Structure 1
Amino acid sequence: MPHEPDSSTGSMNDYKRALISVVIPTLNAGDGIVHLLDALQAQRRKPDEILVVDSSSDDGTGEKVTQYRGIELLTIPREEFNHGATRDKALRHTHGDFVLFLTQDALPEDDQYIDSMVQAFADPAVAMVSGRQIARDDARPFERLVREYNYPAKSYTRSREDIPRMGIKAYFASDVCSAYRRSAYLQVGGFERVSTNEDMFIAAAFLHNDWKIAYCAEARVKHSHNFTLRQQYRRNFASAVEMELHKDSLRSANTTAEGARLMRSVVSQLWDSRQYGESMAFVVDCCARILGNKMGTAKGRRLADEA
């Protein structure tokens, strides 16, 4: 059975006394790291440990971090950064029963972020929690609607039984703002060494090992991007390569249907609000996503055949 008590807490339900670690990977974070660290130190439930893993920034990020008492800085060569392997190294470097990940550009909306994330672990079967991403004030309209589609206002939990109904959406999670139960993480073997989508792959591993994944809408961070078409293409290309190489981990779940639902939802809302230009811009953005996915999948297949 996977759901055994954490030795440090005595009982899986005794989450209130658990140790909490926060991990933040950084690269040239600028003043954003200051705002994030200030927000974490102002939390109602303060973390017991904060680890910043910096990929040899050259903008003074490391120097800013060292000005904070009690926050550990781990510097790695920039070329060694890997979304899965670096986060795995960081988690194993920390000591928390629950380990929270944040990206340098994700800012908690209030002082209850950590408390809200950790409360989801009151269910002893929950291995992973993902928070809600709220679009930044400068987000363009279609990006705001994409965030609202992917990160709704209602919390929910899914298990292995939900996979046939939800498809690829059952594995949807984001290390932009996430939390892991250490014992569950170690039980499934941790992150794969992948360039992206490490959160989705481990979410699949949790579900197929009979753990649950929670989405906590009350744990909110400000986070969004106004990607160019080139950036959107590259992002989806990289994601598709990894998903093709590791499709067995996802049980070959199809992503096309979920992408089509997202597109219809956003276009419909933009059209209804008479934002016709924005609607067309989103369609073009989707074309960049689709092309990136197609080309990335093809490359992933080639790499798999060569392996």
Structure 2
Amino acid sequence: MKSERISIIIPTYQHASVLSLCLKAIFAQSRLPDEIIVVNDGSSDETEKILEPFMDRIVYLFQENKGNQIARMRGFQQSTGSLILFCDADVLMHPTMLEKMEKTIKEHPEVSYVYSSFRFGWKLFKSFSFDVERLKKMNYIHTSTLIRRDDFPGFDFQLKKFQDWDLWLTLLEREKKGIFLNEVLFEVLVSARRGGISDWIPSFMYQWPWKCFSRKKKAIRAYEEGKKILFKKHHL
């Protein structure tokens, strides 16, 4: 089976503490990517210093702070792969992730992307087989998904929340579907989530007692408002 060309795009903002771990996990893949693009979204930490040992093996782009989706899209526009994977700087890919995802998507030419389960710190996020009705009610697909370049519609910059969910719903409206690879293929480093590219609260945490604290209440309000906007856009 002929290999596709795979591009990994890493948007990063203030994640110098974990960026090298992310890259080392990528370089340890059993199937190495053909291209790694790191987009520094205006970080003021030691991101560039951390990247120095990797510069001969990556494409490095810098921009003023504009947000994660714009950083991702800039990386996408510079990429050359027929298969694309967006990997946040605090994501650690398991050694066989690319190999298994590529194999799966090649065995299923009818699908546009392949996704897996993952761990968010100690919490296992077990995903589901692709289900249209379930996807309309909840997002069970992480952004770190291998997607066909020709099917990728881009991100909606007008949305402040749920850009990933919006992506899958947009593909669904275009009659493009995904396939679930029933394995845990990566983990997210919770300690690195400090409000940059990956400022996100998993839904299970909304039920915790400390949700009454002001910062979390604000995040939950933004979550609910973002959900309403998304549902209106897609007529759900």
TM-score range for the pair, normalised by the shorter chain length? 0.7 to 0.9
Q: Which amino acid aligns with 1:156?
A: S
Rounded to whole Å, the distance in 2 between the matches of 1:235 and 1:210 is: 32
Residue 244 (structure 1) shift: 2.4
Map of 1:157 onto structure 2? 130
| Alpha carbons of structure 1 residues 52 and 251: separation in structure 2 relative to 1, 3 Å | same
What secondary structure, in the 3-state scheme, does the structure 1 residue paired with 2:112 have?
Answer: strand
Rounded to whole Å, the distance in 1 between the matches of 2:218 and 2:182 is: 29
Describe how 1:207-246 pairs up with structure 2 within 5 A: 207-223=172-188, 225=190, 229=211, 230-246=214-230
- Is 16-25 or 189-198 further displaced after alignment? 189-198
Rounded to whole Å, the distance in 1 between the matches of 2:81 and 2:109 is: 16
Rounded to whole Å, the distance in 2 between the matches of 1:248 and 1:88 is: 24
Q: Which has the larger radius of gyration?
A: 1
Rounded to whole Å, the distance in 2 between the matches of 1:36 and 1:224 is: 10
Query: Conserved in 1, the CA contact under 8 Å of 2:9 and 2:37?
Result: yes
Query: Conserved in 2, the CA contact under 8 Å of 1:117 and 1:219?
Result: no
Rounded to whole Å, the distance in 1 between the matches of 2:180 and 2:218 is: 27
TM-score between the two structures when normalised by the length of structure 2: 0.79
| Alpha carbons of structure 1 residues 224 and 61: separation in structure 2 relative to 1, 3 Å | closer
Structure 1 or 2: more helix by fraction? 1
The structure 2 residue matched to 1:168, chosen from 137, 140, 145, is: 137
Rounded to whole Å, the distance in 2 between the matches of 1:200 and 1:63 is: 34
What secondary structure, in the 3-state scheme, does the structure 2 residue paired with 1:17 have?
Answer: coil
What secondary structure, in the 3-state scheme, does the structure 1 residue paired with 2:178 have?
Answer: strand
Is residue 183 of structure 1 aligned with residue 183 of structure 2? no
Is residue 72 of structure 1 aligned with residue 54 of structure 2? no
Map of 2:21 onto structure 1? 35
Map of 1:305 onto structure 2? none
Rounded to whole Å, the distance in 1 between the matches of 2:149 and 2:162 is: 19
Rounded to whole Å, the distance in 2 between the matches of 1:231 and 1:105 is: 22
- Is 115-124 or 94-103 further displaced after alignment? 115-124
Q: How many residues align?
A: 214
Query: Conserved in 1, the CA contact under 8 Å of 2:40 and 2:71?
Result: no
Query: Conserved in 2, the CA contact under 8 Å of 1:172 and 1:203?
Result: no
Query: Conserved in 2, the CA contact under 8 Å of 1:174 and 1:199?
Result: yes
Residue 166 (structure 1) shift: 5.8
Residue 96 (structure 1) shift: 0.7
What secondary structure, in the 3-state scheme, does the structure 2 residue paired with 1:247 have?
Answer: helix
Q: Using CA pairs under 8 Å that are at least 6 residues apart, name the structure with larger relative contact order, 1 or 2.
A: 2
What is the percentage of aligned positions where both structures have the same residue?
Answer: 20
1:14-41 Cα offsets, whole Å, 9 max, x none, are: 6x42100001111121231111111111
Q: Which amino acid aligns with 2:23?
A: L
Rounded to whole Å, the distance in 2 between the matches of 1:247 and 1:61 is: 37
Query: Conserved in 2, the CA contact under 8 Å of 1:128 and 1:179?
Result: yes
What secondary structure, in the 3-state scheme, does the structure 2 residue paired with 1:47 have?
Answer: coil
Map of 2:98 onto structure 1? 114
Rounded to whole Å, the distance in 1 between the matches of 2:34 and 2:59 is: 12
What secondary structure, in the 3-state scheme, does the structure 1 residue paired with 2:154 have?
Answer: coil
Structure 1 or 2: more strand by fraction? 2
Q: Which amino acid aligns with 2:17?
A: D
RMSD over aligned Cα atoms = 2.4
Rounded to whole Å, the distance in 2 between the matches of 1:232 and 1:129 is: 32
Q: Which amino acid aligns with 1:126?
A: V
